[in-house]
Amino acid sequence: MDEAPMAKRQTIETIDRGFRDIMDIDKPFSGKVMVFGGDFRQMLPVVPKSTRAKIVNASLVKSYIWPLMEKIQFMRNMRTKMDPTFIEFLLRVGNKDEPTIRDSLILLPEQLIVKHCRDGIPEESIIKEIFPNLQKNATRAKYVTERAILASRNDHVDHLIY
């Protein structure tokens, strides 16, 4: 399961209980090998109209399954190996070394900000940034699979990750 840190623990616990019921074996995931990937320094589960404590409580690390899992930590981010400035920024944020401006908010570097025209549709700006020349390249698998826009929406905030 990719991006497991963004999943609510209840989802993963439901999968565990499902395996136990189907296989009739009382072991985590009925003894099947499960691989959960993701970076816990990124986005936690979205819990609308919630507190920080409730959001953390909904995460995988608060599950009864967490202590039973073998954890393997990767030290090199292969996706960012071509952009050392970006990897340094990510590490500073993850290690809580990036200066905050107020209320634990960080200031994003200018090169990470996608600006939109006031008279245009905001979503079009980010689509053009992530998928330049989309009409020309839409049929090329490599072009499409190397890009993504993930959106999570609750009542107060839109999260865009690309």
How high is the pLDDT of residue 157? 40
pLDDT tens track for 59-86: 999 999 999 999 887 776 666 677 788 8
132 vs 41: which has the higher pLDDT: 132
User: Which structural domain range is residue 47 located in?
Assistant: 1-73
Query: In angstroms, rounded to a whole number, what is the distance separating the alpha carbons of residues 135 and 139?
Result: 8
Query: Is 43 within a domain?
Result: yes
Alpha carbon 67 to chain centroid, angstroms: 22
Query: Is 15 within a domain?
Result: yes
Query: Is 127 within a domain?
Result: no
pLDDT tens track for 2-48: 889 999 999 999 999 999 999 999 999 999 999 998 887 778 898 99
**Lowest-pLDDT range of 43-57, 112-126, 129-143:** 112-126
Query: Is 156 within a domain?
Result: no
Residue 44 near residue 56, CB atoms below 8 Å: yes
Query: Is 146 within a domain?
Result: no
Average of pLDDT values for 101-126?
Answer: 79
At 144, the amino acid letter reads V
Tell me the backbone φ, ψ of residue 62, rounded to 5 degrees.
-95, 5
How high is the pLDDT of residue 154? 44
Whether the pLDDT of residue 159 is over 60: the answer is no
Number of domains in the chain: 1
Residue listed under structure tokens 């890009």: 147
Query: Is 93 within a domain?
Result: no
Query: Is 139 within a domain?
Result: no
Closest listed residue to residue 15, CA positions, set 5, 1, 2, 3 = 1
